[in-house]
Structure formats: C-alpha cells, structure tokens
Amino acid sequence: MADDSALSGNQKRKMRSASRLYAVQALFQMEHSGQTTESVRIEFLNHRFGADYDGTKYEEGDADLFAKIVDDAVNHQAQIDQLTDRALVAKWPLGRIDPTLRALFRAAVAEFLETATPPKVIIVEYVDVAGAFFPGGKEPKFVNAVLDHIAHEVRADEF
C-alpha cells in the first residue's frame, strides 16, 4: 500500500469508498459462512484489496477503515439492528430484508455510531454502495430513506 501522505485527496476518497463496499461484502459473507471477523479481514486484505482477477482490477482500500467498520458492526450489532428495525416499516423487520441490505445497514450505522464522519457523507457513500449491488433498482432510494431516519435519531445535533 502506498504511503498515506503521498496519496491525493481523490485517491483517499476512492480507498474509503472501496473499504465501505468491502465491509458490506465482508459482513454479508460472515453472516452466511460463519467466518470470524479476523478470518474475513485477512481474506479481504490479502485477496480483494487491489487484487487483479481476470483483467479486473479491484480498488485498493483503506485497511484501517475497513477493519473499524467490520469490527464496530459486529461489536454493536444488537444496537444497530434495533435502530434499523425502528427505521423500517412494521411489515419489513430487519430479518425479512435482503441480506445484502442488512449488511449495508450494519456497516453504515456502525459508522454513524463510531466515527466522526458527517452523516450526510455516510448516507451518500452507502447509497452509492446500494447502487453498486442493485443497479437500476429501488434499493438506493430505500437505503437513503432508512439511513436518513437513523442518522436523525443518532446524530440529530448534526442536522
């Protein structure tokens, strides 16, 4: 990985965005495979960050942000899931929504709770992640609405 001081602001943003996408993938994978946080972290750092598969170059990520999001999502999962359940309509409890969206909400809400990143930045980033997983679908708008509701609950002083 390049020396952080040598990276441009744009490259750092791309790395943070990639880390958020990778965190959602890792949380999804952990839920379905039962892998530990440590084993998933090692796999992603060694085989996804900056990897080249069949001519497709994966973005390099910010390893520290990736680890923080995954760890915080796991460590605060009960609180995160309660916040997410309250933001969802009664007919769609967290257990009924798409597992990719569940992982996305866990990653995003972990950032709301445990980072100083402005809520609007977090929302935009995870709406973009939703768009990557569900191109052309309604999910990005759904993600925007749910995350906006949660952000107003947990970080109301920043709006």
In 3-state terms, what secondary structure has residue 56?
A: strand
pLDDT tens readout for residues 117-148: 999 999 999 999 999 999 999 999 999 999 99
pLDDT score at 52: 84
CA 114 to CA 92: how far, in whole Å?
26
CA 31 to CA 13: how far, in whole Å?
27
Query: In the chain, count of helices (H) and strands (E)?
Result: 7, 2
pLDDT tens readout for residues 8-62: 889 999 999 999 999 999 999 999 999 999 999 999 999 899 888 777 788 899 9
pLDDT score at 101: 96
Domain coordinates of the chain in residue numbers? 11-158
CATH topology of domain 11-158: N-utilizing Substance Protein B Homolog; Chain A (1.10.940)
Work out the burial of residue 91: count CB atoms within 10 Å of its CB; fewer than 13 is exposed, 13-18 middle, 19 or more buried: exposed
Q: What is the mean pLDDT of residues 88-109?
A: 87
Region at 107 (left for phi over 0; alpha for psi -120 to 50; beta for the rest): alpha
Query: What's the pTM value of the predicted model, to 2 decimals?
Result: 0.90
